[in-house]
Structure 1
Amino acid sequence: MKSAHPYPVVALRSIPPLAALQAFERAATQLSFRRAARDLALSPSAISHQIRGLEAQFGVKLFVRGARSVRLTAEGERYLEQVSAALTALDGAGRELMTRRRADRHELWVSSLPFFTSTVLLPALPDFHRRHPDLTLRIEATHQYADFNSSGVDVAIRYGREQATGLKFEPLVEVNALPVCAPSVIKAGLRTPADLSRHVLIHLISQPQSWPRWLGEMGLADLQPRGHLWLDTVPAALEAAEHGLGVTLAMAPLIRRRPGFGSKLIAPFKVQAGFREKLYLVSRPEQARDRRISALRRWIVDAVRAGGQ
C-alpha cells in the first residue's frame, strides 16, 4: 500500500547530534582538536568527547591519535566526505529559507561600519522610505566582518577587500586619516604634527597601525606621545576627542558630516597623509539581478553622493 505521506520516513537511530557532526567535521578538516575547538568556541576536551561519542555509537575508530597529532582512519575519511556534504546541504537549506523569508517579508539586511552608519545611512533613511515604502531595512552597525555564508546579510559596507573570495566589491568612497581633537587641545599647544609628543593619542583597537602609519607619513615615526588611549569603536574615539581626552584619527571627508565638526571637533593641521583607503559595497554576485538588492545599492550610492563625497 502506497504511503500517503509526501516525504520518506527517515530512521533516526544512525543520525548523531548535530554538535557531534560539527565537531567531527572541524577536527577532521583541521586534523587538530585544538583548532577545531577554536573554530567552534569549545574546549579541546569537548571536541574529543563528541568524537569519542561518535566512535562509540558506530563502533569504529575515526581518528588515529598520536602524541601531538591526529589523522583520519579510512572509515573516518569516508565519513568526512559524507558529513561535509550533509552539513553543506543543511547550511544551504537554511540560507535558502532565510532568503525566502526576507523576500516574503520585504526585509533587507545591511551590515555597515558604525561611523558610516551614523554619518551616511541614518541621515538618508527618510529618502529610502520615500523610495521604497514596502521594504524594511535591518541595519547592523558593526566592525565585525560580515559572514555572507552563515548569516542573512544582503549588503555590507567595509574597508578593503579582506576575505573577498566569491564576493562582489564595488568602491563607494575614498577616505584618508585626519587628526581631530577638541578646540581646548589646540589651545593647550597643538600647532604642528610634532606637537603630538605632548598629547595623548586615541587609538581604535581594530586599527592598531593607523597612528604609526600616519606619523610615518609625516616623517615622525619615532615620535613618543604623552600617552595612549585605546577604544573599541569610532564613535567612542570621537567622543573621547570631543571631551578633550586626546587626538584621534577620523575618516575624511566623512567626518565633515558629523554634527559638531568645526566646533566641538576640529582638525588641528592642514597637512594630510598621502595614503588613502577605500570603502566598498560588498554583496553576493548571484544577487546582482535581485531588484531589492539593486534598489538598496542605488540608495547607498546616492546617499554617499548626496553628502558631497
Structure 2
Amino acid sequence: MIDLRLIETFIQAARRESFSAAAKALRVSPGAVSQNIKSLEEQLQTRLFTRTTRQVKLTPEGQRFLQRCAPAVEALETAATEIQQEREAFRGRLRITSTTAFGRDEILPLIASFQAEHPELEIELSLSNGFVDLVAEEFDLAIRGGILPDSDYIARLLVPVTPLVCGSPDYLDRHGTPQSIEDLNGHRLIGMRSNPSQRVFAWEFTGSKPGETQRVEIAPTAIMNDPASAGRAAALGMGITQVGSNVALPLINAGKLIVLFPETAIQSRGLYAVYPSKRFAPKKLTAFVDHLVEAFAHRADLVFS
C-alpha cells in the first residue's frame, strides 16, 4: 500500500509545478517534499517529474498517474468532510434510554425543549427499569440511577439522590410515627425488589462513622419494582417506604408524604447521564447532555438538604 501522504505530496507538487510551493501548502520543508516524491517514484518504479533548476514538470507517466489518483483522493477528502459535518450537525437519530417514571416526568420535557431548538434531530426515548446494554442495544445515552460501577463509560451527575424514609400523614395517624430505625419493625413496610436478582433492597442510613453507610434488611408487606410506584403506594397509606429524594420530595412538598428521621439520611446515590466513552462523541449527544445538566442545576426541588 502506498502511503497517502506521498500521494498528497505528489498532487500538491503536480498542481503547483513546484516543490517549494507544495511544501508551503503542506507546511513541511522543501526537502521533505523532495524525499516524498523520491519515495513514491521508487515504489512505483516510475519517474513522475522532470526536474530543472527553475521548475518541475510532470512526465507523461506522471500526468496519467495524476488523472487517476487525484479524483480518488478528492473522494476521500469529501467523505472525511461529510463525516465531520455529520458529527457536528444536529440531525440524525439520538437514542436515549431511561428509567420509566423519571424519563417520562423529567427527561421527556427536556427532550421536547431540545428538539424544539433542533427540529431536524430525531430523538427516540425508551423507558425501562431494567438494565440496558448501551452498546449491544445501540443506545447513545442512558439515564441511570443508583451507585454506578467503575466502567469505561462517561457518567455526568444530573441529580444527587438521598434515600428518604417516608409515610403518609394518614398512615402515621393510624399507626403512629416511628421515632427510630428500630421502631420500623412494628410497621407495614413497602420494599423494592431488584428484577435481576429478585432481592429486596436493604434500606440505607448514615453509619456510626463519617462516610459509613448502615444497611438494614426489611420484611416488607408490599413490594414494588420501581421507586415511583413505592412512593405512590406510601402516599396512598399502604405503609412506610424508603425512596430516593427525587421521588419523595415532590410528594413531601405536596403534603402527601412526611419524611421520617431525616438526620439518618445519607446522600449515597445519584441520577446520571451515561454514555460510552468515545474520543469523538457526536456534538448532538454532548449538547443534549449539557442541556440536561444545565436544566437540573436549577432544580433545587429535587435535592434534599
> Could you tell me the TM-score, scaled by structure 1's length?
0.56
2: CA distance, partners of 1:236 / 1:291: 35
1:306–1:129 Cα change, 3 Å: farther
Residues 1:122 and 2:108 aligned together: yes
Corresponding position: 1:238 with 2:231: yes
1:155 to 112, 128, 141: 141
Q: Is the 8 A contact 1:156 1:281 kept in 2?
A: yes
- Structure 2 gap segments, 5+ residues each: 1-85
- State whether structure 2 residue 187 is matched by structure 1 residue 196: no
Greater strand share, 1 or 2? 2
Amino acid corresponding to residue 170 of structure 1 in structure 2: R
Q: How many residues are aligned here?
A: 204
Cα distance, 1:250–1:222 mapped onto 2, change above 3 Å: closer
Deviation string for 1:106-126 (max 9, x for gaps)?
A: 221111123432442134344
**Counterparts of 2:248 and 2:266 in 1: how far apart (Å)?**
17
Q: Identity across aligned pairs (percent)?
A: 23
Q: 1:237 to 1:219 in 2, by over 3 A?
A: same
Contact 1:203 1:230 in 2 (8 A): yes
- Alignment of 1:214 with 2:198, yes or no, is no
Q: What CA distance in whole angstroms lies between the structure 2 residues aligned with 1:150 and 1:224? A: 35
Equivalence map 1:1-309=2 (5 Å): 106-158=92-144, 159-162=146-149, 164-188=150-174, 189-193=176-180, 194-206=182-194, 208-211=200-203, 213-214=204-205, 227-253=220-246, 255-257=248-250, 261-286=253-278, 288-308=280-300, 309=303
Please say if residues 190 and 196 of structure 1, whose CA atoms lie closer than 8 Å, have aligned partners that are also in contact: no
The CA RMSD over aligned residues, in Å, is: 3.3
Structure 1 residue 246: deviation in Å? 0.8
What do the CA deviations read for 1:129-186 (whole angstroms, capped 9, x no partner)? 3322222322222222221221121111222233x54322223332111012221012
Q: Which amino acid counterpart does residue 148 of structure 1 have in structure 2?
A: L
Q: 1:222 to 1:131 in 2, by over 3 A?
A: closer
Alignment partner, residue 83 of structure 2: none
Deviations 1:230-252 (A, max 9, x none): 11122221221121111111211
SS in 2 for 1:117: helix
Q: Distance in 1 between matches of 2:279 and 2:186?
A: 51
Structure 1 gaps, min length 5 = 1-99
C-alpha distance in 1 between matches for 2:153 and 2:111: 26
Change (3 A) 1:293 1:132: same
Under a length normalisation based on structure 2, what TM-score does the superposition of the two structures give? 0.57
**Contact 1:204–1:232 at 8 Å: present in 2 too?**
yes
Q: Distance in 2 between matches of 1:166 and 1:219?
A: 26
Over 3 Å counting, the alpha-carbon distance change for 1:111 and 1:287 in structure 2 is: farther
Greater C-alpha Rg: 2
Q: Specify the code of the residue in structure 2 equivalent to 1:302.
A: E
CA distance in 2, matches of 1:180, 1:239: 11
Of 270-279 and 232-241, more deviation after overlay is shown by 270-279
